[in-house]
Amino acid sequence: DSGVTQTPKHLITATGQRVTLRCSPRSGDLSVYWYQQSLDQGLQFLIQYYNGEERAKGNILERFSAQQFPDLHSELNLSSLELGDSALYFCASSEGQNSNQPQHFGDGTRLSIL
Amino acid sequence: GENVEQHPSTLSVQEGDSAVIKCTYSDSASNYFPWYKQELGKGPQLIIDIRSNVGEKKDQRIAVTLNKTAKHFSLHITETQPEDSAVYFCAASQAAGNKLTFGGGTRVLVKP
């Protein structure tokens, strides 16, 4: 058990809809990272928050946004969903703000767009 | 940006044999190299990591080696067991950057 909690485990929705994925980091970790895992793209970094502030952006679409709340949990919002957004979405957490520190992953949310 | 290549994409070994997975990276500024194991239905689990000031690191049956000059690093699993069957990912990151770049993964199957 990594200590990182993601909900829900599975999400099925339709094109054009909006969903919110939630992540609670390990106790004591201030950074939250979001990744997308698809069969053809592997694990792709989306965005990082550190102590409530956006720290780094990766290959995140404009239709996607995230935030980190004062209690350090984070939410990833995906809107105007397309078939190609079907993937596993992982959250990871680490103590500090730099990516060259151990990141611990949750078990992901599987998003299926019908 | 950083590019990480991982080989092979699949690896089948007999129980008790060794398994080796190799990764190359493109950015000489990268200085942190973690390895993750992902089992079906689970998230990636950090199994070992190495920093650029170290050439080799061991943890029981797992070892990682780093060649900074050649910009490649490898994962070695000795005395493989069926529970080692999983997908393994290498990754690379810089101190100044905030992005962990992953290799494409290696599916390891340990045959009893």
What span, in angstroms and rounded, lies between the C-alpha atoms of B29 and B82? 37
Minimal Cα distance from A42: which residue of B?
B104
For A29, A100, A103, B66, the CA distances from A97, given in Å and listed in that order, are 10, 9, 11, 24
User: What pLDDT does B39 receive?
Assistant: 95
Distance of residue A22 Cα from the nearest chain B Cα, in angstroms: 15
Tens of pLDDT, residues A56-113: 999 899 999 999 999 999 999 999 999 999 999 999 999 988 888 899 999 999 999 9
| Model confidence band, residue B97 (pLDDT cutoffs 50, 70, 90) | low
Average of per-residue pLDDT across A4-9: 97
Write out residues 31-60 of A within 8 Å (CB-CB) of B. 33, 42-45, 48, 55-56, 58
Q: Are A88 and A6 within 8 A, CB to CB?
A: no
Which chain B residue has its CA at the smallest distance from A107's CA?
B43
Average model confidence (pLDDT) across chain B: 94
Segment A14-72, tens digit of pLDDT: 999 999 999 999 999 999 999 999 977 789 999 999 999 999 999 899 999 999 999 99
Query: B96 pLDDT exceeds 70?
Result: no
Of B42, B89, B103, the CB nearest to A107: B42
